[in-house]
Chains A and B, each alone.
Chain A
Amino acid sequence: MHEALMSGSEILVACEKVSSEAEVTGVKRIYESLEFNPARSIPSSGTRTGWGLRMIRNGKMGVSGEWGMIDPFRMVDKTIGSCRYGPKAMFSFPETSPEPLPSIPGNFKAIAEDKVHSYLNTLQTEISRIHPHAALSARVQWSRDSFVIMNSCGLRGSYTKATISSRFSVTLPSDSGLLQSGYFLSTTDSLPVMNDVLEMLMLPLHTGELNSHTAVGRKNVVFSPAAFSLLLQAVKAGVSGKLQAEGASPLSGMEGKQILGNQLTVRDLPLLNSGAASAPFDSEGIPTQDKTLFEDGIFTGFLHDLGSAAECKTESTGSSGRNLGEHSKPVCTNLTVDPAMDGSVNTLAETGSGILVTSILSAGGGNAASGSFTLDCGRVYLFRRGEIQGYYNGCILNGNVYNALSKVTAVGSRQYRIGTDLLPFISLSDVSVR
């Protein structure tokens, strides 16, 4: 880390005479990975280093980034070029360094390739036990990531964390064609809980009877955590202070109002203990804070970075996110929806009858900003009296996400990890199905 601070300082020095303010961010990832499928397994390792530079020059903001071979002077030149066309700088870089926090723990060294290989072999065996012709392919990467930030106003900060990213996919030939399920999640402390992975991968692979009737009209729909995650994309966009600043968020002026069903409490938790997106400070060096976005369905406020906060005349919530070389924007980190205190896990019993959506093929025709959605769910399952009765192919849901999430029948009683989020099953009534 000391070496990183030195390199960052060199870039800042190179900016001194050509900018009024400058900020440098650095990332270093050291990883190992295993690519697994029945035909072959390939272990790999690697190192990746990158630097990002933001600069205010003539009142405008410019950015640049480099991965691999870094040339500080080339970066400065490119950032000057970017300033010419950049947005007006509405704020100054912060002066106060974030509190030095102990590194977020992780077990990078405790994981070895043979352990991952054995985990995946066991998973394949369990999958074969359920569907003898199903085959697993997966990629697991475990890494140690170091971050550093410094700016010309005196801010300095750094931290290190461990992340385990896992991508699983299962293919299954069936009488009605080919089936596939996928599951992606990130953790920090250990390999994913195998039973959860198995449950998420098997959920879209029910075979059963093809139902000749299609469910068209307004129906009860249960979303699996993976499907719910896609539905929440529009909410993630809607709570962005950038959209508020542009006057494009449907949540503008709605603070304190009931937007979602009162069973829903939605939080952004950048300090979550096992959250892969956790960080002690955001990409501008502002300390992060856990934030409730919807309390019992009532909207509590937007996420802001320094830019959107300045435009909306408020404070940053420590929610800046960006890739190196790109402009900052407010982002969610570990998004969670509180599970119900009691009831079933998958909400089928509480819902009675309806359709279960386990995956979403595409979201064409939707608008993340307004919340409108058109989701092709591929294969969906019909259930009655809480029991799956059959399936049919080709089901499209449409509507507005805020309207849909205001009609909650039930929330599942446990959370599953989807990407970096923690989400339960959710049952919604009166959803348009065609």
Chain B
Amino acid sequence: MQKHRDLAEKAIASSEADFAEVRLVHTSKTVVIQAGLSHMNTGPIEQFTGTARAFISGRWGMCEFDSPEQIHDALDKAAATALQNCSVPVPFPILPPACRDTFSDDINGVPLSDVTLREKSFLCRHYCELLGASLPSGSARVTYEEIIKDSVIVNSSGTSVREIENLGSMKVQAVLPGGLMARNELALRGSFDRFKGREKQIAEMGKDLLLRKTTACIAPGRSRVILDPELTGIMIHEAFGHLVEADFLENNPAVAHMLRKGLRVGAECVNIVDDSLLMNQPGSMQWDDEGTPGAKTQLVSSGRIINWLHTMGTAARNDAIPTGNARISEPGGVPEARMTCTYMEPGTTPLDKLTMHLDDGLYLKGFMGGATDMDRFSIAVQEVWKVRNGVIHKPLTPMMISGKVTDVLGSILDIGDDLQLSGSLSGCSRMGSSPIAVAYGGPHILISDMQVS
């Protein structure tokens, strides 16, 4: 990749566009699946893609290519496309500071890429056998996915940065006859070591699933609930985070006004951040996909919106500064303002005190699926536990929670002290585009009024 980076720097130097940029990405993707006794692996599937962008007289043009020899031609084609672009001109983007640097996950320990496929396959089989052994009937499945990504961004304002990411995820899943299911996913960036030593957690997962086998139903309605850190994170990501992505907001001025800075969206105790510099989490990045340095951005402070997430283009159009959130979801795509690692900041209350404060209600754990329809969200919950007199009492059938995010954030009564992050390599998709890696989380939170169905 270093040699391609040199080529890109030379090509950029000869570009006559007002601004020019070349992005080169090499990815290598491997999947290992152990389902019962059946083992399957695909990959590594290698992919090299390049994208040239040119900005001339207020208009963009782009060109995707698939060989480093095409960098010059692609830059010329991007410039020609910009000249032919018939749309309304936009302001000159706010460029990242000049920088020539490289960041590699090697500094986080032995990277995923240095571990053999044999060792990864062995670990999947080991966990699958362990989970299978804890279930008298039903099925167990372990899926390991790995993406090694080497990307270079070079532009005409003096940026030339290279980042090597080692992204891995391990999903463990058990299903009982009748469909009752438990799943657990650990996604990380950097070292393989965190996938090891999970035997106790997996054995407990099987035990918990059997415990939930005999569950009672409750009627749909509204209830006081405690959400676990994963559900808190999912709700923040799905129902709030997407609403402060500036490229989405600038599409519709009326919507942007509804989510203007200073607007109250939650209780006084609610603080939400997006931090792309948590370098062991999926979604983290030293530089975003435009070469802007990663950053921690406070989105909500004391219940009020104080920032949106920006690319260098949206920042220029909205009189803001880039927040390092430009991300590309598919090769040749336009950088979008997207979340990285988004979470609610912890409070000071331990979980046992939160449960006492809940008194009678539901304790909800684990995420099974979900989606957002603008400010409404819907989340399928894996485990539902009845809490009586502040004590976790008995399991109930899995349910869905739904609501309007501002209503839910406004009805938070208390926030736990136990920040935990979860993540996924394919955790975030927008408008049908390819999913990107993200992390999300928060502490346990106590909500006074939530729709459960």
Contact = CB atoms under 8 A, between A and B. Distances in A.
A347 B432 CA distance: 28
A378 B373 contact: yes
A321 to B, nearest CB: 15
B40 interface: yes
A327 B379 CA distance: 32
A301 interface: no
B351 interface: no
Given A44-B61, A49-B66, A364 B49 contact: no
A110 interface: no
B220 A42 contact: no
Contacts of B451: 394
B251 A38 contact: yes
Contacts of A66: 45-47
Interface in B365-396: 368-376, 378-380
Task: Report, as a range, how many residues of chain A touch the other chain.
Answer: 35 or more
A43 B83 CA distance: 10
A169 B61 CA distance: 22
A173 B254 contact: yes
Contacts of A35: 334
Interface in A68-109: 68-69, 74, 78, 81-82, 85-87
A41 B379 contact: no
Contacts of B372: 361
A396 B400 contact: yes
A37 interface: yes
Interface string A39-73: 11111111111100000000000011111110000
Nearest to B252: A135
B66 A47 contact: yes
Given A63-B42, A396-B400, A41 B369 contact: no
B122 to A, nearest CB: 11
A367 interface: yes
A180 B60 contact: no
A411 B377 CA distance: 30
B453 A396 contact: yes
Contacts of A324: 45
Contacts of A85: 32, 39-41, 117, 121
A45 B63 contact: yes
Interface stretch (B84-92, B203-211, B283-291): B84-92
Nearest to A136: B251
Interface string B257-270: 11000000000000
B48 A362 contact: no
A133 B250 contact: no
Given A64-B43, A180-B373, A327-B40, A39 B368 contact: no
Contact of A434 (B47, B81, B220): B220
A258 interface: no
A113 interface: yes
A87 B398 CA distance: 35
Contacts of B369: 362-365
Interface in B23-60: 26, 32, 38-49, 51, 60
A67 B61 CA distance: 23
Nearest to B45: A325
A200 B70 CA distance: 40
Task: Report, as a range, how many residues of chain B touch the other chain.
Answer: 35 or more
A87 B317 CA distance: 54
B422 to A, nearest CB: 16
A359 B374 CA distance: 13
B179 interface: yes
Given A48-B64, A117-B87, A180-B373, A167 B258 contact: no
B134 interface: no
A364 B370 contact: yes
B431 interface: yes
Q: Which of A44, A137, A169, A365 has the most CB of B within 10 A?
A: A44
Interface stretch (A154-162, A309-317, A368-376, A381-389): A368-376
Interface string A119-153: 00000000000000111010100000000000000
A171 interface: yes
B296 interface: no
A184 interface: yes
B443 interface: no
A46 B252 CA distance: 29
B49 A48 contact: yes
B404 interface: yes
Contacts of B254: 133, 135, 173
Contacts of B398: 365
Interface in B128-187: 179
A43 B64 CA distance: 11
Contacts of B44: 64, 78
Interface in B311-366: 313, 317, 331-332, 334
A327 B39 CA distance: 13
Contact of A41 (B87, B253, B431): B87
B275 to A, nearest CB: 26
A209 interface: no
B63 A46 contact: yes
B213 interface: no
A40 B87 contact: yes
B302 interface: no
Q: Which of A46, A216, A324 has the most CB of B within 10 A?
A: A46
A52 to B, nearest CB: 9
Contacts of B46: 65-68, 74
Nearest to B367: A364
A169 B431 CA distance: 7
B402 interface: yes
A69 B25 CA distance: 12
B119 to A, nearest CB: 13
Contacts of A38: 250-252
A34 to B, nearest CB: 9
B367 to A, nearest CB: 9
Interface string B58-86: 00111111111010000001000100111
Given A41-B87, A184-B432, A379-B373, 20 more contacts: A35-B334, A38-B251, A39-B90, A40-B87, A42-B60, A65-B45, A69-B68, A82-B41, A87-B40, A113-B84, A117-B86, A133-B254, A178-B255, A178-B258, A325-B45, A361-B378, A362-B379, A363-B369, A364-B400, A434-B220
16 contacts: A37-B247, A37-B250, A42-B61, A43-B85, A44-B332, A69-B67, A69-B68, A86-B41, A117-B86, A133-B254, A178-B375, A361-B371, A365-B368, A365-B380, A365-B400, A434-B220
Pairs A-B, 3 closest by C-beta atoms: A364-B380, A46-B64, A364-B369
Interface of B: 26, 32, 38-49, 51, 60-68, 70, 77, 81, 84-88, 90, 117, 121, 179, 220, 243, 247-248, 250-255, 257-258, 313, 317, 331-332, 334, 368-376, 378-380, 398, 400, 402-404, 431-433, 451, 453
